[in-house]
Structure 1
C-alpha cells in the first residue's frame, strides 16, 4: 500500500530530497518550522511589514512575480488562517489578480530588511472581493491604507502553510527618505525602461506582460 503524501512540500521537492540525501534535514524543517496556520509571532511580524513579494501563475503555469507596499499592517491579519490586502488602481494590466482568477494559489514573501533580517513565506488560496463585499464579512478591515483613494478590490487569502525564510543572505537596508523634488535626470516611470527602445518588440506569449 503506498504511503500517504507528506503534509508539506511538493512531490518534486520530496523527489529531489531523496536524490540529494536531504530528506531527513527537510523533515526536521517541516516539523519544526512549517505550520498550516499563522502563529502569534507570524501575525505580529506581518502587522509590522510595509511590503510583500507575490508569486502567481495562470492556469498554464506561466508565472508572474510582483510586489505590493503600504503602511505597516496594510496586509491585514483577519485571523490565524486568513489574510487580506488591498489592490489599488495601477497600470490596468492586473497581472497578479488575473492569474488568481485562473489559478487561486498564491505565494507571499515578507522580508524584514531593516531590523531582524528575516523572512516569512505564506502560501495559500486567494479570492477576490470588492471593498464593500469583504467589509460585509470583516468590518474591521483597515481604512485609509492609501491616502485619498480606496481599493479597487481586496485579495482574501486562506493560509495553507507558513514558514520562515532564514536570515542568511538577507541584506541590511537603511530606510531612505524620498527626495524633496523631482530629479530631472530620472526618466518618468512610463519611459524608464522603454524610453530609448525604438526597435520592434520581440514576439512573446501573452503571459509575459507587465506585473
Structure 2
C-alpha cells in the first residue's frame, strides 16, 4: 500500500519502467508519428482550426492552460518552424505571456469544431509586437497588438477517442447544464467580489458581446 496526496493507493508508479512493465507496447502506427515542423498536412489542419488550447508554465512550476479562439485559420503559419498566434481583448491578466518570460516552453492543442482528430504542437514561445504581422492577424479591422510567436519543435496528430467517449460534438448527447455554476457565480465566490451575481453577470455579458476585438 502506498500513500499519495493523503490517500492510500495500491501502487504509486514512480518510473517509466514501472509504467511500461504493466502496459502493452504501443502500436507501431504511433511509433514514429512525431515530426519537428509544420508540414503540408499539419498546415492544412491549422488552417481549419478555430480553437487552440495553450499550455505554459509559471515561474513556480505550476502549469496554466488557456483557450484561444477566432475564425478558422487564425493562427498564421509563417514557415515550417514558426507560427504566430494573435492576442485579443481579455481580462488583461496576461498569464500566458508572463509565464513565457520565465519559461518559454509552449504546448498547443488545435481543434476543429465537428472534427474528432486533434493536432498537438509544442515549442518555444516569444511575445512580440509587430505592426505588419499584427495587421495580417486582424479581425473586423482590429489588428493584434501583442503576438505570440512559437518556434515549432514537435508536431503530432492525436487520436479521436477522447472526443468519441465524451461525445463532444454530438449535441444530442450534451449534458444538462442548468445546474452548472456560471462565470459570474464563480467570480463572486472565488474572488469575494462585493457586487451581486447579477451585476457581475451583466458585466460579463457586456464584455463578451462588445469587447471581442
What TM-score does the superposition give when structure 2 sets the normalisation length? 0.67
Aligned partner of 1:144 in structure 2 is 138
For residue 174 of structure 1, report the CA deviation from its aligned partner. 6.4
Separation in structure 2 between the aligned mates of residue 81 and residue 53 of structure 1, nearest angstrom = 19
The reply to whether residue 131 of structure 1 matches residue 130 of structure 2 is: yes
Which is further off, 18-27 or 119-128? 18-27
In structure 1, stretches of 5+ residues that fail to align are 1-14, 176-186, 201-211
| Inter-CA distance 19–84: structure 2 relative to 1 (3 Å threshold) | same
User: CA RMSD, aligned part only?
Assistant: 3.3
In structure 2, stretches of 5+ residues that fail to align are 1-14, 172-180, 194-213
For residue 112 of structure 1, report the CA deviation from its aligned partner. 2.6
The SS at the match of 2:153 is strand
Separation in structure 1 between the aligned mates of residue 119 and residue 106 of structure 2, nearest angstrom = 14
For residue 92 of structure 1, report the CA deviation from its aligned partner. 1.3
Q: Higher relative contact order at CA 8 Å, sep ≥6: structure 1 or structure 2?
A: 1
* 1:35-54 paired onto structure 2 within 5 Å: 35-54=35-54
For residue 88 of structure 1, report the CA deviation from its aligned partner. 2.0
Contact 1:113 1:172 in 2 (8 A): no
Contact 1:17 1:26 in 2 (8 A): no
The SS at the match of 2:26 is helix
Contact 2:76 2:137 in 1 (8 A): no
Cα shift readout 1:114-139 (whole Å, capped 9, x = no counterpart): 03x1010000100111032xx3xx69
Separation in structure 2 between the aligned mates of residue 57 and residue 97 of structure 1, nearest angstrom = 10
Aligned partner of 1:34 in structure 2 is 34
Aligned partner of 2:146 in structure 1 is 153
| Inter-CA distance 63–143: structure 2 relative to 1 (3 Å threshold) | closer
Q: Higher helix proportion, which one?
A: 2
